[in-house]
A and B are shown apart, each in its own frame.
Chain A
């Protein structure tokens, strides 16, 4: 079992309480940061560690902090609006170890000279929001948040803000719109949040897992963190394993661990449900391209997954076995993007509905052969042409599945039913 960083203490009873968290070294990193480092030195430390954002894009965290404009006030938004199908790590971090997140928020705020930080928690995760709020309250009472933190002269306010059901609010500019009390429509970029963000001020936005990693880096050093993972993808990350595996769950592994290990190793996924054959894997949440079973030896790091034709994204690894009807599965994912499109831009608002209509009629046996290329054509007119990445995300599963499993689409059109799975036509002998 490799060394754990973020999930090291996740199952310690009572770790969600301040006293137990402190017994396990909690807030020592904050004390060290305030005592031994100037803010800029922490930015340099995180740059040196090689930490990259865990929300999806994988942008270098320290570099992002370094881009912040110098004017004040500055803001930090911790993005805990976890809604990507296949991803369920932030919920665990918030519910089980909220102080680790809060400590990361405080250190990051200090490093970026932020005076007000927001933790934006997905609305549906009511218990997670209560856990984070209680940790914030305990941290205020202990003097870790508020005026003159630990006598350092640094002051910070932290506000826990609960969303209300909108996937788009996980997109950074939509999150800021939502925090400002409006519909969660994405903003045009540039200007980027580092220059003009929340309330017009310079704003840093990081994912929950990213900020939960910061205390360990400050406590143990940049070189220690950089010793995990690969040359360009440093550290560990939480892989959320779901779908047709025997042991779904969250597993923290060094970046670069082969996909095969995550899925088949007895310590992790334990193999395919029902000992069936692997058909396909989505490596980074439903917004990323589907990979065929031949990519099973792909190392799970940003570069290798990109070279294999997909993205590491939010770390949501979704496994599909041989009995999965790919058209039905892709329809399900496309319905998500149709329902979650904010409606601001036409390609996404209209295109996702059209995609669902076409997929439905193919799935239900009323499709035409030309519909398959029409799907690709619509995807081409959404991807890269919509206002925010939701449009791109809506097309990934469609384009990659047609590339890998075109014969299944054609079978649907030709035979009027699924090729595999429970809705496949039974052989005549079996029907009798």
Chain B
């Protein structure tokens, strides 16, 4: 369910635009932040607030790559696959990430921790190769940096598991 608070934020946004439906993209971001992806509830909430049909909202949501159609992992790792990152060796880094995370590109780990994606140009060609972890850029990637990143993510999940009084294995159960 989308909270009333989120719907109120959508209404405020819609009021800023000359035409309310212009707010459909920011509204989808708000709904996705609550649900983790563009769920049926997210589509219905946006449609209700902006006075659109659910199909109409869905047609927008499915066009843009940043709205998730399924729940992604807690860390969504997007590795740039475009020409400048390719010239600076991104392919080997993607393979390294596949090995370390135990998933192929396009997949989400069964424990829900990671989604690994290859994406098109991230506008960081001068610091290629580059990846994004959720919204944060990591630039000038090297094999050593990728290893350090994965170690850091694992440590974060472990700490999170302990703080919740569960073992990391338990936290990662399918």
Contacts and interface: CB of A to CB of B under 8 A. Distances in A.
A interacts with B: yes
B22 interface: yes
Interface in B56-74: 59-60, 63-67
Contacts, number: 140
A241 B126 CA distance: 6
A73 B66 CA distance: 32
Contacts of A240: 125-126
A249 B126 contact: yes
Q: Give the one of B86, B121, B123 with max A CB within 10 A.
A: B123
A333 B83 CA distance: 6
Given A88-B124, A127-B135, A166 B65 contact: yes
Interface in A302-359: 316, 318-320, 324, 328-329, 332-333, 335-336, 339-340, 342
Interface residues of B, number: 40
A73 B29 CA distance: 29
Given A82-B123, A87-B125, A123 B87 contact: no
Contact of A248 (B19, B59, B128): B128
A181 B19 contact: yes
Q: Is the interface of A mostly helix, strand, loop or mixed?
A: mixed
A91 B87 contact: no
Interface in B146-169: none
B135 A243 contact: no
Nearest to B67: A164
B28 interface: yes
A297 interface: no
B63 A88 contact: no
A183 B56 CA distance: 10
Nearest to B125: A242
Interface residues of A, number: 58
Interface in B100-141: 119-128, 132, 135, 137
B26 interface: yes
Interface string B77-109: 000011110111000000000000000000000
B26 A162 contact: yes
A250 B84 CA distance: 14
A162 B123 contact: no
A336 B123 contact: no
Interface string B30-60: 0000000000000000000010000000011
Contacts of A165: 64-67
Given A165-B65, A318-B125, 5 more contacts: A85-B83, A87-B123, A164-B67, A181-B60, A243-B87
Rank and list the top 5 A-B pairs by shortest CB-CB distance, nearest first: A165-B65, A164-B64, A242-B125, A181-B21, A165-B66
